[in-house]
């Protein structure tokens, strides 16, 4: 298939971002990365060149190396409500779907049409929850963290503790998967070669593992995103009849919605038609069931010497831990809203805002029942005491709001 220049790559990612945003923001994400210089066009070009050099390497191709590559995975579960703190079982089912898909062991592989079955590959890539953290302490591979953020944008903030998210574990050694409630996005991934602090996959809390709750409820979003994380492009090459850099995937006009059947021809894709059942299309979970040998070769190339995923081979992530202490699970703060005590009060009242340190630096007002402001205070710490001894007995409202729209209001009774 034809190769595209890096300049064209830039443009086609921009073209795509408007159309496929609902289902997959990866291209939009890559576009924004290029725009923000996190992944320069030079890096995209480097990746394509590296993959092209490895292409045709006998050990990588069909019938070549059958060594299983096992990727240590850490899930960072960021939750604001208990429903977002998804159970271990859901994460385990996600790992199972990843392994069945990359090893071509899923029951639905029988749905791969006869005309493409010859191309369908066991990629010999597996995923396993980490057993050692970066300091070789015991881990279950699942890290849970309460956050005051109730919804996230696809802007990587969840990848930083300083933004109320969770920092990546060394991305040379682990696949980081962040799970959080995402606005209008099922998930997105970073391509190899970008900022190591942002390297990994982000999944919407509702899209992890097998839930059966939507068209994307069978855990295949993570399979698609893992494909991106391993350097795969969308099947339509992110352009009208574009190039995905893989030889055995037919050209395709664009992405697929829903769950088509039969032969669909586009771009002179040949008698077999489009491969809309490929994991790198946007077809419903129930209707995608293969990676090709060409895609497998492209992914496995990244683990070769000098490749961006080479570090996985020497990762400590799946080694037995040296420190066996079970880490104490991080508890959510007791109060998920301002806590005022004592209330009613006579002389002073303590305000605890520890559930959300972002209140520091904002202003708080105390208003009487007539709506008159009787006090204005700068919030300089998460826990502080205010003197109310001079106030007349009665009911007051304490309020504060932030630039991001977050606000709270609490009633105080002065005795
Ligand atoms: Zn995608």
pLDDT in tens, 159-218: 999 888 999 999 999 999 999 999 878 888 998 988 999 999 999 999 999 998 888 899
For position 56, what pLDDT does the model report?
Answer: 72
For position 27, what pLDDT does the model report?
Answer: 60
Record the pTM: 0.80
Closest-CA residue to 147 (of 197, 76, 91)? 76
Q: Report long-range pairs for 379-382 (Cβ below 8 Å, ≥24 apart).
A: 379/353, 382/352, 382/353, 382/354, 382/357
Element (H, E) at 180: strand 175-180
Q: Which three-class secondary structure state does DSSP give residue 93?
A: helix
Phi-psi region of 382 (alpha: psi -120 to 50; beta: other; left: phi over 0): alpha
Ligand 1 centre to CA of 138 (Å) is 33
Phi-psi region of 397 (alpha: psi -120 to 50; beta: other; left: phi over 0): beta
- Which residues of the chain fall short of a pLDDT of 50? 1-23, 37
Backbone torsions φ then ψ of 288, nearest 5 degrees: -115, 135
For position 229, what pLDDT does the model report?
Answer: 94
Q: What is the DSSP letter of 235?
A: T
Ligand 1 centre to CA of 222 (Å) is 10
Q: Any alpha helices (H) in 78-168, and if so which ranges?
A: 88-102, 114-117
Domains and CATH numbers, the chain: 6-314 (3.40.390.10), 339-414 (2.60.40.1930)
Identify whether the C-beta of residue 3 lies closer than 8 Å to the C-beta of residue 164: no
Tokens of 268: 């002179």
For position 264, what pLDDT does the model report?
Answer: 93
Instruction: Report pLDDT digits (tens) over 304-342.
Output: 999 999 999 999 999 999 988 766 666 666 667 788 999
Q: Which of 31, 48, 225, 297 is catalytic?
A: 225
Distance CA 25, CA 39 (A): 16
Instruction: Give buried/exposed letters for 141-163 (b at 16+ CB in 10 A, else e).
Output: bbbbbbbbbeebebebebbeeeb
225 is annotated as an active-site residue:
yes
Distance CA 75, CA 140 (A): 9
Closest-CA residue to 288 (of 75, 100, 129)? 100
Ligand 1 centre to CA of 232 (Å) is 9
For position 329, what pLDDT does the model report?
Answer: 64
Q: In angstroms, how far is the first alpha carbon of the chain from the final one? A: 80
Q: Which three-class secondary structure state does DSSP give residue 12?
A: helix
Ligand 1 centre to CA of 311 (Å) is 24
Identify whether the C-beta of residue 399 lies closer than 8 Å to the C-beta of residue 364: yes
For position 298, what pLDDT does the model report?
Answer: 93
Element (H, E) at 44: helix 41-54
């Amino acid at each position: 298939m034809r190769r595209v220049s890096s300049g064209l790559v830039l443009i086609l990612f921009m073209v795509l971002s408007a159309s496929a945003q609902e289902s997959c923001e990866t291209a939009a994400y890559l576009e924004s990365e290029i725009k923000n210089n996190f992944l320069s066009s030079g890096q995209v070009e480097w990746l394509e060149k590296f993959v092209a050099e490895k292409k045709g390497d006998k050990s990588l191709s069909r019938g070549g190396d059958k060594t299983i590559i096992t990727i240590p995975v850490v899930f960072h579960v960021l939750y604001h409500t208990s429903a977002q703190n998804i159970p271990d079982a859901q994460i385990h089912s996600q790992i199972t779907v990843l392994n069945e898909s990359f090893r071509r062991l899923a029951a639905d592989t029988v749905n791969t049409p006869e005309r493409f079955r010859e191309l369908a590959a066991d990629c010999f890539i597996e995923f396993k929850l980490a057993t050692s953290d970066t300091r070789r302490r015991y881990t279950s591979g699942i890290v849970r963290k309460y956050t005051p953020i109730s919804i996230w944008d696809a802007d990587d903030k969840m990848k930083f503790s300083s933004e109320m998210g969770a920092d990546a574990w060394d991305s040379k050694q682990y696949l980081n998967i962040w799970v959080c409630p995402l606005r209008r996005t099922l998930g997105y991934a970073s391509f190899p070669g970008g900022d190591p602090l942002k390297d990994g996959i982000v999944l919407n809390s509702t899209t992890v593992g097998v839930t059966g709750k939507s068209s994307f409820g069978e855990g295949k979003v993570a399979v698609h995103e893992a494909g991106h994380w391993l350097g795969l492009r969308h099947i339509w090459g992110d352009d009208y009849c574009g190039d995905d850099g893989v030889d055995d995937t037919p050209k395709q006009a664009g992405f697929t919605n829903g769950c088509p059947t039969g032969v669909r021809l586009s771009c002179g894709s040949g008698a077999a038609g489009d491969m809309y059942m490929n994991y790198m299309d946007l077809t419903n979970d129930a209707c995608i069931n293969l990676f090709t040998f060409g895609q497998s070769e492209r992914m496995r190339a990244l683990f070769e010497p000098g490749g961006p995923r080479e570090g996985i081979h020497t990762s400590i992530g799946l080694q037995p831990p040296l420190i066996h202490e079970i880490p104490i699970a991080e508890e959510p703060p007791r109060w998920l809203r301002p806590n005022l005590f004592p209330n009613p009060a006579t002389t002073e009242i303590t305000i605890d805002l520890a559930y959300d340190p972002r209140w520091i630096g904002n202003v708080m007002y105390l208003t009487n029942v007539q709506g008159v402001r009787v006090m204005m205070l700068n919030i300089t710490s998460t826990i502080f005491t205010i003197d109310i001894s001079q106030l007349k007995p009665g009911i007051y409202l304490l309020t504060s709001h932030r630039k991001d729209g977050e606000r709270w209001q609490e009633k105080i009774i002065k005795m």
